[in-house]
């Protein structure tokens, strides 16, 4: 039975971290080490973790350093043949490790991930197909099914969803290296680097749901929504260019940048037409509208 190093970066999840820890301790595959790193939590996260008595569990505390640094520390401590990550508010299905090990051994894949089940703070599954997250995830999965190419599908959207979905060989973890210092999209960046490092060796178990992914009901729209999308834009550009021949990259880069500019210009024009513009711009718009009306009247007069 190969050994798996499971890393849990934990931060202020006293409500959820117990379920995360238990989902690892209750795995049908018993040969693992569970490394829980408390990233400076200010609640009872540490107390909850330390209440579990299991020789396979190691608990560490550090001052807050963000998730990517915490995961990187866990990677440096893992001694297993496989590496798995679980966020402190997510939950493994009981057979997740056993199933992924079997699939890895059967296929030779270096990284594997599965489909997920979205749940609320209370653990209730979001089953409504029109629920916003379900619409987004379904769109990404359908694109992958239609195009049949994992890399292209990831350019469309991160259907791996979360760092908790990563399962990889220790060899791959060493080769791909540390997680990047992206607060919101370090998992997205990592899977692109994994696909580039191991072409054809990243496997998606699209028909198997082996992870509960927590969607917090208290989440509100904030500056993080802007920062996350800015990071998303830069990642897509970076890894789109990485996938094409070097001599073609300048053309693709110029076109991609122009598309971004056009989208911004379109937003500005739509805003102006909706009346959200400065007095000077409004005057210009009125003049343009008057000129268009005059031209239309003249055209109609000639056609009568």
Supply the DSSP string of 10-70, one letter for each residue. Answer: E-S-TTTHHHHHHHHHT-SS--EEEEEEEES-SSSHHHHHHT---TTEEEEEE----HHHH
Same-domain check for residues 53 and 157: yes
Beta pairing class for 4-10 and 32-39: parallel
What is the arithmetic mean of pLDDT over 77-87?
98
What is the arithmetic mean of pLDDT over 35-64?
97
Same-domain check for residues 51 and 196: yes
What is the arithmetic mean of pLDDT over 13-39?
98
Question: Residue 13: pLDDT above 70?
Answer: yes
Same-domain check for residues 289 and 160: no
* Domain presence at residue 236: no
Domain that holds residue 155: 4-224
Which H or E element spans position 177? Answer: none
Buried-state track 114-146, b at ≥16 Cβ within 10 A, e below 16:
bbbebbeeeeeeeeeeeeeeeeebeebbebbee
Are 242 and 189 in contact by the 8 Å Cβ rule? The answer is no
Same-domain check for residues 281 and 140: no
Same-domain check for residues 218 and 280: no
Question: Residue 79: pLDDT above 70?
Answer: yes
- Whole-number pLDDT of residue 294: 62
* Domain presence at residue 268: yes
Same-domain check for residues 264 and 212: no
* Domain presence at residue 104: yes
- Whole-number pLDDT of residue 230: 87
pTM of the complete model beyond 0.95: no
* Domain presence at residue 52: yes
pLDDT per position as a tens digit, 164-204: 999 999 999 999 999 999 988 999 999 999 999 999 999 99
* Domain presence at residue 10: yes
CATH (domain of 51): 3.90.550.10
- Whole-number pLDDT of residue 292: 57
DSSP state of 89: T
Same-domain check for residues 262 and 187: no
**Last residue of a domain, which of 224, 245, 265?**
224
Same-domain check for residues 134 and 209: yes
Residue with tokens 């359908």: 142
* Domain presence at residue 186: yes
- Whole-number pLDDT of residue 35: 98
pLDDT per position as a tens digit, 267-280: 888 888 887 655 55
What is the arithmetic mean of pLDDT over 132-155?
95
Cα separation, 211 vs 266, in Å, equals 40
Same-domain check for residues 154 and 280: no
Same-domain check for residues 262 and 210: no
* Domain presence at residue 137: yes
Question: Residue 134: pLDDT above 50?
Answer: yes
**Last residue of a domain, which of 207, 224, 241?**
224
More confident residue, 300 or 5: 5
Are 17 and 45 in contact by the 8 Å Cβ rule? The answer is yes
* Domain presence at residue 201: yes
Question: Residue 161: pLDDT above 60?
Answer: yes
pLDDT per position as a tens digit, 220-267: 556 678 888 889 989 999 999 999 999 999 999 999 888 888 888 888
Question: Residue 124: pLDDT above 50?
Answer: yes
Task: Report how many domains make up the chain.
Answer: 2
Cα separation, 53 vs 61, in Å, equals 17
Same-domain check for residues 19 and 155: yes
Same-domain check for residues 110 and 183: yes
What average pLDDT is seen over the chain? 90
């Amino acid at each position: 039975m190969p050994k798996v190093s499971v890393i849990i970066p934990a931060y202020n999840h006293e409500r959820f971290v117990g379920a995360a820890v238990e989902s690892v301790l209750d795995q049908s595959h018993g040969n693992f080490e569970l490394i829980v790193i408390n990233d400076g939590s200010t609640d009872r996260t540490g107390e909850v973790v330390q209440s579990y008595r299991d020789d396979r569990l190691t608990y560490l505390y550090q001052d807050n350093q963000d998730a990517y640094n915490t995961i990187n520390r866990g990677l440096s401590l893992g001694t297993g043949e496989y590496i798995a990550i679980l966020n402190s508010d997510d939950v493994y299905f009981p057979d997740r490790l056993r199933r992924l090990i079997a699939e890895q051994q059967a296929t030779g894949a270096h990284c594997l991930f599965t489909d997920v089940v979205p749940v609320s703070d209370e653990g209730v599954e979001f089953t409504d197909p029109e629920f916003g997250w379900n619409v987004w995830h379904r769109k990404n999965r359908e694109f992958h099914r239609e195009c049949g190419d994992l890399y292209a599908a990831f350019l469309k959207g991160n259907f791996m969803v979360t760092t908790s979905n990563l399962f990889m060989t220790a060899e791959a973890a060493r080769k791909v290296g540390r997680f990047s210092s992206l607060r919101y999209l370090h998992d997205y960046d990592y899977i692109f680097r994994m696909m580039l490092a191991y072409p054809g060796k990243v496997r998606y178990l699209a028909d198997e749901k082996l992870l509960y992914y927590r969607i917090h009901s208290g989440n509100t729209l904030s500056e993080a929504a802007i920062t996350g999308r800015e990071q998303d834009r830069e990642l897509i550009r970076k890894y789109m260019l990485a996938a094409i021949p070097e001599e073609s990259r300048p053309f693709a880069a110029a076109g991609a940048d122009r598309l971004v500019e056009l989208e911004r210009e379109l937003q500005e024009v739509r805003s102006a037409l909706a009346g959200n513009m400065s007095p000077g711009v409004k005057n210009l718009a009125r003049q343009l509208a008057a000129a268009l009306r005059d031209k239309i009247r003249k055209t109609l007069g000639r056609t009568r």
